[in-house]
Amino acid sequence: MSARFVINSLDFVNGSGRHCDTIPILELVRLHDWLFDNQGSLIYELSGYVDKNDKLYLLLKINGAMNLSCQRCLNKLTHTFDLQTILLLVKSEEDLDLVDGDDSVDAILATSELDVIDLIEEEIILSLSISSRHPEGKCNSNLPRTHKTGFTERSESAHPFAVLANFKKTN
């Protein structure tokens, strides 16, 4: 496991800091439950800036791809990332509470030890679908087999118990 990249968020932004690196997907431990495998890596860029109103911001860009598990067929689902997140840094819990009501702004509390890898993991988790799956009709799911007719398929207009009725008649 490589060394964690930790910044003092206020110093990083005030100094107009910029950092680019690659993270092996294997190191994104909190994502492992969503993954089909832990192959590959993601590229990220973190930069800090102060706007004309003296507000402090972190800009995080994440690019790459990872293999998720499809929730329908449990096979590999390649998911491509091209995320860009702008985070307002606030200096106190009170400021965070004030900004929390505004859905147009994402804010985090400025800390002296901000783990950038944890921040990246959080942004990826927030960007994922609740149920990652292939587009309709693209899954390689195992359909039930019968001993006579091979695969059985149910049409959209068929009654849900029609397949059972046909099965009962053939046996």
Q: Tell me the residue range of the domain where 80 lies.
A: 6-127
- Residue 90 has a CB neighbour count (10 Å cut-off) of 20
Helix, strand, coil percentages, rounded to 5, for the chain? 25, 35, 40
Domain-embedded: residue 138: no
| Total domains, the chain | 2
Enumerate residues 6+ apart whose C-beta is below 8 A from 38. Answer: 24, 25, 26, 32
- Asked whether 91 and 97 are in contact (CB, 8 A), the reply is no
User: Quick one: pLDDT at residue 168?
Assistant: 75
The mean of the pLDDT values for the chain is: 82
Say yes or no: 25 and 93 in one domain.
yes
Say yes or no: 41 and 123 in one domain.
yes
What tokens appear for 122 in the block? 């959080």
Say yes or no: 83 and 151 in one domain.
no
Domain-embedded: residue 133: no
Q: Which pTM value belongs to this model?
A: 0.73
Domain-embedded: residue 1: no
Say yes or no: 88 and 148 in one domain.
no
Say yes or no: 34 and 94 in one domain.
yes
Say yes or no: 103 and 168 in one domain.
no
Domain-embedded: residue 51: yes
| Least confident piece of the model among 121-125, 140-144, 150-154 | 150-154
User: Quick one: pLDDT at residue 146?
Assistant: 39
